[in-house]
Amino acid sequence: MATANLDKIKVTRQVSRPGIVFAIDRLPGSGRMIIGGSDFKVYELDLDRETPKPTPLGAHESYVTGLVCVNGNTVVSGGYDGRLIWWDVGARSPVRSIGAHKRWVRRLAITPDRKVVVSVADDMVCRLWDAETGSLLRELRGHAEMTPHHFTSMLHAVAVSPDGRHVATGDKVGHTVVWDLATGAPLATLEVPGLYTWDPVQRRHSIGGIRSLAFSPDGRLLAAGGIGKINNIDGLEAPARVEVFDWRKGERTHEFPGDKFNGIVERLEFHPGGDWLLGAGGGKDDFLIFYDLPNKKLLAQEKAPMHVHDLVLGDSCDTITAAGFGKVAVFDLKG
């Protein structure tokens, strides 16, 4: 696997899109991306072409907020309409559409063997689906519908461990549950209140929460990302924040409160070899941040050309394809 040069990160390609691209995934073994966002549609975007042009597969009835590629021709999307839709990429048509959740679908994940699709939504339920047939396999319920201050909560984040044995879910108030994927049993709970802000005076409103989760390559650590305590809840003017836990012990091992960029860490991704943890997002600032966990320090902080909502690592981890406000951008880490 090539070694990334984090001192020479550069943007090598940008594809402009109207609105916001909330979700992206790559068809295995290719440069063909599947994207979806605020125009309700799902597209194929072939970045191997000299002039990539998004080709629509079809549409949801609201924002597309989650995407996973099951194989080289099948994609599953989730949206604010509460539906999951299976797409045949070659035929550019839907295979099935399921009313998966009663409220907004926030994110999708898929197991490493690509047999189980995992969805989380604001009905505060995580559901496991057979990736081939669309059958519901299991429901995971461990998040309260209301915050302690009696506001509706949200379930933004989900991650699957690299060995496919565990699922983690994280909500608006920082409550996180790690589940046994095979049995549905909860194995551990973690509280991350540093990612949640409650303003009892000016707005009587809450903001923040866990917006991203990622397991380390060995499955021992769980990283949670979001935004630190916000003084002005009408904006995102607080440092990007990441906390890391040994989830079996229930101990926090790392705390990165942010020192340069203000915004939400929307996406976390570990280098498969454990070289770094990547956090990406935006708000007041738009950014990529690389964390060195063994030495408990930051490796690099890079300004992004847009608020990043989702990303895909290249097979050799020397490129990052990111999706966000108004564009898809490719970052080269080879130097």
CB 92 within 8 A of CB 56: yes
pLDDT of the residue at 207? 77
- Provide the pLDDT confidence category of residue 1 given band limits of 50, 70 and 90: very low
Q: How do residues 139-190 score in pLDDT, each as one tens digit?
A: 999 999 999 888 899 999 999 999 999 999 999 999 999 999 999 999 999 9
Q: Residue 83 corresponds to which tokens in the numbers above?
A: 């539906």
Buried/exposed 284-313: b ≥16 CB within 10 Å, e otherwise:
bbbbbbbbebeeeebbbbbebebbbbbbbb
Return the CATH fold of 142-304: Methylamine Dehydrogenase; Chain H (2.130.10)
Residue 298 to residue 239: CA distance in whole angstroms: 14
Beta partners for 240?
227
Average pLDDT over residues 50-75: 96
Mean pLDDT, the chain, rounded, equals 94
Q: Where in the chain are the domains? A: 142-304
DSSP 266: E
The pLDDT tens digits of the residues spanning 188-238 come to 999 999 999 877 766 666 678 999 999 999 999 999 999 998 876 666 688
